[in-house]
A and B are shown apart, each in its own frame.
Chain A
């Protein structure tokens, strides 16, 4: 079975005989997402089922992850926000990293529907595809985060302070100077709103771009022998050996992208919730 170059859209798994999909929402990335969710929930439950102060192996491993993430998130958002935001940010990190690494499991992206070609079987609709290699998945995560971000920001600093933080005159200016600068800061506020509106887009496109590129890179490396037209047996060896360094690269990219996504989310929260704190002091 050959690895196929991914298409930009994640195809629906079930297609009718005339090629029309009849369960629109069930794409290969949703299916893998569901498997990933199942795995995460199964592991988390088995690690936390019998919690004790002196942990077992699974609990210890899970605790190490949670503790590491908790400390990292706390260092960015601060002590006052960490309890509220930790669960979402940790879920984002875990879901993204497991999805990213799941894409490296042999068979993911290379087993599915396709057609025979002179160079072998070409998979055009893989059965499984990482949720992070589908813009629907990354956009969904970014959108959910932005909804929570908006709620947390307003509930933490209040609507007035939140709007003031965006449109208000900064730098402690008062009097005539402040009045003169009001239009400028209103304009800056509009730019800030546009910037905020683009946050889910940038978050989702960055993650999707990196993972999609990684998947494509691996597919290309696996099929490099055939592309170069080398003999069959060399092509076979190349399809195994050439991608190995890129697998390690993708392991690193998977970790980095999960960390970047989570940290950016944490920074956004910190930016919108620390304003009140500064004023309070």
Chain B
């Protein structure tokens, strides 16, 4: 990660580079490769699998692990019941999948495995990944909305009690705000993760450069930046959880629009 640039700076964007791990196969101009992004997605999958496996033993008296798993599933169940109502049950698998994948991908990206020479890679810091998840959410909203309400789905864009002359204007405004949803959903997660990781790397580079500049500079610069880095790391863990929750919550609210047509 400490890639030397001109002037001895440390490049904080290097951590987001996608590199093929075992070479790539290029059929017809494209490129298929097992990249570091793929590797960390596999890690997230394995971690989720192990986590869920520990909670699926169906014991009569749940142990600690089972309580942890049940509190997560119960949390998502409750989220959907409160925001969508009794019909929300059908969407629990989707929302739960997206929540737990984002949560594990975010947290694994913060894993301190750099000490062992592995470079942690945050899967959700690429708009390609978050964009695909946002498009799936948006697609569910469109399919469910048109399936259940047919052409009446368009009444979503005209709030109740709108005076007639205002209808065309409001229709356009609501339509634009509806169409922007997948972008804002994808952008929020991707930028929150990117910005947080860049911040951590910038403080880390302050620490290293301060230490290199001698003992008094080390005390003056390195110590405060190390303390600040500790604090920012704790904040990052909080942000990981909040962003996963916000993605799940907003997906649930958008699906609520499609199901209940406010």
Partners in one complex: no
Query: Which residues from chain A sit less than 8 Å from chain B, CB to CB?
Result: none
